[in-house]
Chain A
Amino acid sequence: LSIFAGGGGAQAYGFSSCQDFGQRGQDIETELPIFLEDTLSLESKKLFYHFSHHDSAGRVTEMHKTLKVKILIGVVDGERIRLKDQGAPGLGKGASGDLYLRIRLAPHPLFDVEGYNLIITLPAAPWEAALGGKVTLPTLTSKIQLMVSSGSQSGQRLRVKGRGLSGKLGQGDLYAVLKIVMPASSSTSVKEQWQKLAELAPLRFPCRWSEAS
């Protein structure tokens, strides 16, 4: 994992006009992108960061540091964590500054995040929504069998308790949002079946222009 803030490095903050405390090292602020899976893991993340350091003679050196960072359970996107004394070194006997990491949850190919809940779009065939049945649903760590009720609607959210992210006060949930997908193409015989279905199970939409008037 490589952490370089846009444009080449972490940002160093301090008050250069404050002469009295000029010996303390500057604080460093940088982002720490983590995968959703990392929030469930107890393993440490390796962090590389670099910054410009001005020594007492006014020379500027580029410093590179590596740290192992333990991500505590319950971190959220945008949260800042402070690592004491891991910023720029002080001048003379001055203490080092601190390192401030801003947690960034990397986008996931399947899951979106809403607080500690995860959201996944679950494609379903029209007959699966109509008849119901079991479907396989990926979670962040494994797969589960999810029961879709008969007569489910597109956009309906199905809750899977406790399969979200780990929160400070408990486990979030996983929500599967049903997305009903039509078959790509229909043969004449399939169209005839749809036509029969349309006659057997007519559907009216009061909000539609043609039927409202």
Chain B
Amino acid sequence: VKPHERYANNIFEFYRSLCTNRCGRRYVFEIIEQGIVEPIGASSDDWQFSPEMLIFTRKAVRIHRDLDVDWAGITLAIALLDEIELLREQNSHLQQRLSRFTDV
């Protein structure tokens, strides 16, 4: 899904929003290089980052820095956490629909 232009960050805003200094810039480079975050756009000048990508990167950098986990482990951990959140929400919605059907 292409990020909505109104909501998307360009690369400058993405860097800035992550408060890039030397270490921050390196983290962002590694994350993009390894395909953990895939910005939309052919060249780096055109890259667009959705708000979800920014939140993901912020979370990933924090885990990497605080817990010293490698990027592969971080990707897996965040994917699993997101999956749990999604399943919980789906479960809650299905419970709601079921109760509408079964409650008299």
Of B24, B51, B100, which is within 8 A of A15 by CB?
Answer: B24
Contacts of A119 in B (CB 8 A): 97
Which residue of chain A is the closest to B6 with respect to CB atoms? A72
Whether a CB of chain A sits under 8 angstroms from the CB of B79 is no
Contacts of B61 in A (CB 8 A): 15
B10-32 contact mask (Cβ, 8 Å, vs A): 1 or 0:
00010011111111100000000
| A15, A20, A112, A119, most chain B CB atoms within 10 A | A15
Contacts of A82 in B (CB 8 A): 7-9, 51, 54
Whether a CB of chain A sits under 8 angstroms from the CB of B52 is yes
- Give the distance to chain A from B31, nearest Cβ to Cβ, in Å: 14
Interface residues on A, range: 20 to 34
Q: Dominant SS at the B interface?
A: helix
- Interchain CB contact under 8 A, B19 and A72: no
A96-113 contact mask (Cβ, 8 Å, vs B): 1 or 0:
011010000001000011
A20/B21 contact (C-beta < 8 A), A72-B4, A81-B7 known: yes
Contacts of B52 in A (CB 8 A): 80
Contacts of B50 in A (CB 8 A): 80
Whether a CB of chain A sits under 8 angstroms from the CB of B34 is no
Contacts of B96 in A (CB 8 A): 107, 112
Contacts of B6 in A (CB 8 A): 72
- Give the distance to chain A from B59, nearest Cβ to Cβ, in Å: 10
Of B24, B55, B101, which is within 8 A of A29 by CB?
Answer: B55
User: How far apart sit A119 and B100, CA to CA, in the bound complex (Å)?
Assistant: 11
- Give the distance to chain A from B29, nearest Cβ to Cβ, in Å: 15
Contacts of B51 in A (CB 8 A): 80-82, 100
Contacts of B101 in A (CB 8 A): 121, 155, 177, 179
Which residue of chain A is the closest to B23 with respect to CB atoms? A18
- Give the distance to chain A from B22, nearest Cβ to Cβ, in Å: 8
- Interchain CB contact under 8 A, A13 and B58: yes
- Interchain CB contact under 8 A, B21 and A19: yes
Which residue of chain B is the closest to A23 with respect to CB atoms? B19
Give the contacts of A103-158 with B (CB-CB under 8 A). 107, 112-114, 119, 121, 155
Whether a CB of chain B sits under 8 angstroms from the CB of A163 is no
Contacts A15-B61, A24-B19, A80-B7 aside, 11 further interface pairs with beta carbons under 8 A come to A18-B21, A19-B21, A20-B20, A20-B21, A21-B20, A27-B17, A72-B6, A81-B51, A82-B54, A95-B16, A179-B101
**Residues of A near any B CB (own CB < 8 A):** 13-15, 18-22, 24, 27, 29, 72, 77-78, 80-82, 84, 95, 97-98, 100, 107, 112-114, 119, 121, 155, 177, 179, 181
**Which 6 pairs across A and B sit closest by C-beta, in order of nearness?**
A80-B51, A20-B21, A18-B19, A15-B19, A82-B7, A121-B100
